[in-house]
Amino acid sequence: MPAGSRCPRRWPRYGRRAEMGVAVRVIPCLDVDAGRVVKGVNFRELRDAGDPVEMAAVYDAEGADELTFLDVTASSGERETMYDVVRRTAEQVFIPLTVGGGVRSCDDVDTLLRSGADKVSINTAAIARPELLGEAARRFGSQCIVLSVDARRVTGGAPTPSGFEVTTHGGRRGTGIDAIEWAARGQELGVGEILLNSMDADGTRAGFDLEMIERVRTVVDVPVIASGGAGKVEDFVPAVRAGADAVLAASVFHFGVLRIGEVKDALRAGGVEVR
């Protein structure tokens, strides 16, 4: 793909699902560390969950609408490992693949797209330099750029206007940035989607943070992917009703607690359109 071009494959731009009649997407998320899928609680006590390429193929066969890979170490020593995982996965599956973790520049975005990613998720680098989002959106197209917002409720220190704060380092470091305002800023800068991660709920299986989804939905028109807290099939419909265009989960899929088909059946039963 020549430098400056857009995504190699054209996937629909989703947004305002109810108004556009677009089906809700069910997305497994694979947190990858040194070439293996891992999962913990609140990004701690990580345990091995399997080979990412094999798991991606299974999810594709089960009817997942997309896949998300996040490099949870994102160190320079593991970067080439992640590129290899992306390349091998892109050869095996035929659904959109979003990759994030350690993306610091437009050149990193370019390399991931060339490796087979369809979309690239940006988090920490955008906090350090928001202009990166606009630069990447202009160079590759908004549909390729996802703003990942790792947010938690503020329980100590200076409060934010919404009560939600953007964090880094797996939710362990606060930034003082209001999470709702940051999501709106991401849309202004040109991102095509918001991946909204509740760091309080991550891995707890206690349900999505519905208030946070609702608050972000009120300030953005681009698709919102709800992440963090899925534990049972009943958790997914409320997330959609709160404003999510897609629902993402990790451990419940990795360890066989839920299957993709079960989640889609529950969404259909709740009156939600799925593929």
Catalytically annotated residues: 31, 150
Pairing of strands 145-153, 193-198: parallel
Rounded Cα distance between 53 and 253, Å, is 15
Contact residues for 273 (Cβ-Cβ < 8 A; gap 6+)? 21, 22, 23, 24
Q: What separation in angstroms does the CA of 63 have from each of 72, 193, 233, 260?
A: 25, 21, 16, 7
Rounded Cα distance between 179 and 163, Å, is 8
Contact residues for 262 (Cβ-Cβ < 8 A; gap 6+)? 233
Rounded Cα distance between 75 and 146, Å, is 20
Residue 56: closest CA among 84, 91, 24? 91
